[in-house]
Amino acid sequence: MIRPALVFLCVLTLTPALAAEPLGPPGAPAADFPKPDRPVAEIVAPLWASEKQRDAVDEVGQVARLMGIAPGESVADIGAGSGYYAMRLAERVGPQGRVYAQDVTPRYLADLEARIAKAGVTNITVVRGEPHDPRLAPGSLDAAVLVHMYHEIAQPFGLLHNLAAAMRPGGRVGIVDADDIPARHGTPPALLTCELTAAGYRQTGFTTLTGRVGYLATFEAPAAEARPDPRAIRPCRDETTRGSNGRR
């Protein structure tokens, strides 16, 4: 039998997660898009390495400089997890800028909201998205980062299509990942490029980051008229992922 006090505690624990809401209207539904022709890794943690280790190699600084993220811009951290990028990008874009920390895991969203409140940061908005749709307002972003989570997106074509709708003209998307198969929580660069291209994105750069962080692949999001019809998208096949089970 569950005591009333424990029920009350559970309600209090869950309440913060309910505060994060979608910011934009629903995009194209998941059923419109093909599933990726590769394994999808499960979401196992809100961060992939300690913040101290990542700061030691200036991970966020490397990515922000290569992407040209500047004061006053609006940036989305897709799959924000613990908020490592969101907190540092908020400082970079400054009080006139805005960071949208988006995730699909309620527990991560609750912890992130608590972290932001404790730090007193006022230019981060926490957003609850869906696996196929970040649920961000149309035309609201200058840039977006997807860090060590692309291989965990259950519906990458849907997410990319709906993310493009949230980008302003010339919007930049940066994907940080390991050059490995999804079973080891990475994405082969050729496969990544194929999937982004299938969704209408144009690759603008590729850099191996220092400090064993992985790579940064940058893309320009397609304008509305350049986004392919969801049902016309054909998934990319990569033989290096055959037989993977999507786990570490």
The span from the CA of 33 to the CA of 139, in Å, is 22
The span from the CA of 29 to the CA of 132, in Å, is 8
- pLDDT on residue 41: 87
- Beta sheet of 74-78, edge-to-edge order: 124-128, 98-103, 74-78, 141-147, 167-177, 214-220, 202-209
- pLDDT on residue 46: 59
Domain ranges of the chain: 33-241
**In this structure, are residues 178 and 186 in contact, taking their beta carbons and an 8 Å threshold?**
yes
The number of beta carbons lying within 10 Å of the beta carbon of residue 176 is: 23
pTM: 0.88
Out of 3.40.50.2300, 3.50.50.60, 3.40.640.10, 3.40.50.150, which CATH number does the structure's domain 33-241 have?
Answer: 3.40.50.150
The span from the CA of 162 to the CA of 185, in Å, is 24
- If phi > 0 it is left, if psi is from -120 to 50 it is alpha, else beta; for residue 231 that is alpha
Structure tokens at 42: 């499960």
Mean pLDDT per 10-residue segment, the chain (248 residues): 35 44 94 94 72 93 98 98 96 98 95 97 97 97 97 96 97 97 92 97 98 95 96 83 41
The span from the CA of 5 to the CA of 19, in Å, is 22
The span from the CA of 156 to the CA of 132, in Å, is 7
- pLDDT on residue 47: 62
